[in-house]
Amino acid sequence: MTDPGTRVAPYGPAALRRAAPALLGYAAVRALGLLVLAGWSGARDKSAYTLLTARWDALWYTRVAELGYGYEVRLPNGDVHSNLAFFPLLPWLERLLHALTPLSYGAAGFVVSLGASLAAAWGIFAVADRVYGRRVGVCAVLVWAVLPVGIVQSMAYSESLFTALAAWSLYAVLTGRWVTAGLLASLAGLTRPVGLAVVAAVWAAGVVSFVRERGAARGAGARPDDSAPRPPSPPARPREGARGGASRAARAAGLLLAPTGAAGYVLWVGHRTGKGPLGYLDVQAGWRNGFDGGLAFARFVGAKFTPGPSGPALPSVLAGVALTAGVAALIWLYVVCVRRRQPLPLLVHTGVVLALALCASSYFGSKPRLLMPAFPLLFPPAQALAALAARRPVRAAVIVGGVAVASAVYGAWWLNGSGPP
């Protein structure tokens, strides 16, 4: 990996040419998914456009964009679903695009999602290319594109926007652009509650950088024998010192900027609800969302194996086995990432996303899409795919194509059925 202090242009014609295979492959996979969804929905007299822009969370976001905050639904059991649970960046962008174009709020959300998904693909490529090289970067984007719930990347949801901000913030950290990293982390914190993962990654990298810098300075100033005469001091180099000071100031600014988005929105919600700094937790509690260390999810999985009057149903047992295997695979992939010494900010980001997704107490069906921003987990499979492509490119292409078709079919079936909660 290149020295994090080395400045590498992340954009421009040369960078776009380097990322072009990844972006074209990603666009092809997403186009396939949308075409299959359109055909499947049309055969069932449903609107694929409505499924993408005006169902589930997409509808809540467009209501925030159109009406602002304050809308809520009171359920018969006493739960209160408030739109204050939804962070504001996506609705702000929907409102802006609606004001500048003839697009409806839902269509604006769809356009934002499409653009953000391409930006996310480019960011994932940039991070993987930085750490492992171009071939792995292309494969990482393709693996992200063909995830079973990849259709969410094309919905008027906030996953693509958040992943784009997270990926480019992590890339900025890896390349020493601290102010950019902090600004993007702040915007990620205005997008989803899991923005805390990006903030934690920026802070972990910044703190370690400061500690290493202090250790290097102490090591440079130590002498084995204090009684020995000091060598003559070299002439001062003010320019390098100024650059070092500027770098430290930029790092400190980035660390200070990173939490401002999430903290600002959470404090605003607390002020608006009159419940103080923790008011946002009460809003989430109205949706039966919370953090219980994974106990509720464990009970949910365990219930799949619980015998009924005539024993557990086979579909339920198979679902339980699949859930258990999925969680085990996620943990195994994270361990592989640690053993392969992924950069610290990637490990911190992924670890926090995993913890928040797996340890939340409700909406278990949404966990697969909540895990999409944990894209560094896909780097080990991307490395394996890249190695296969180097030896047997046709076989690698067939595998990716087959998985892309399966993902497209699953996405169409899913959205025309239960869909993402």
Is position 224 within any domain? Answer: no
What distance in Å separates the CA atoms of residue 274 and residue 113, rounded to the nearest whole number? Answer: 33
Is position 382 within any domain? Answer: yes
Is position 225 within any domain? Answer: no
24-72 tens-digit pLDDT: 999 999 999 999 999 999 999 999 999 999 988 999 999 999 999 999 8
Is position 245 within any domain? Answer: no
Question: Per the structure, how many domains does the chain have?
Answer: 1
CA atoms within 13 A on the CB side of 28: 13
Q: pLDDT at position 327, please?
A: 87
Q: Which of 57-61, 295-299, 313-317, 388-392 has the lowest mean pLDDT?
A: 313-317
**pTM, whole model, 2 decimals?**
0.90
Is position 12 within any domain? Answer: no
Residue with tokens 């989430």: 284
Residue with tokens 């605003």: 268
Q: Which of 26-35, 240-249, 271-280, 387-396 has the lowest mean pLDDT?
A: 240-249
Q: pLDDT at position 236, please?
A: 37
Instruction: For residues 93-97, give the mean pLDDT.
Output: 97
Residue 104 belongs to what domain range?
Answer: 21-217+251-415
Is position 355 within any domain? Answer: yes
- Averaged pLDDT of the chain: 87
Is position 244 within any domain? Answer: no
| Whole-number Cα distances in Å, 222 to 217, 225, 231, 363 | 9, 9, 13, 56
Is position 234 within any domain? Answer: no
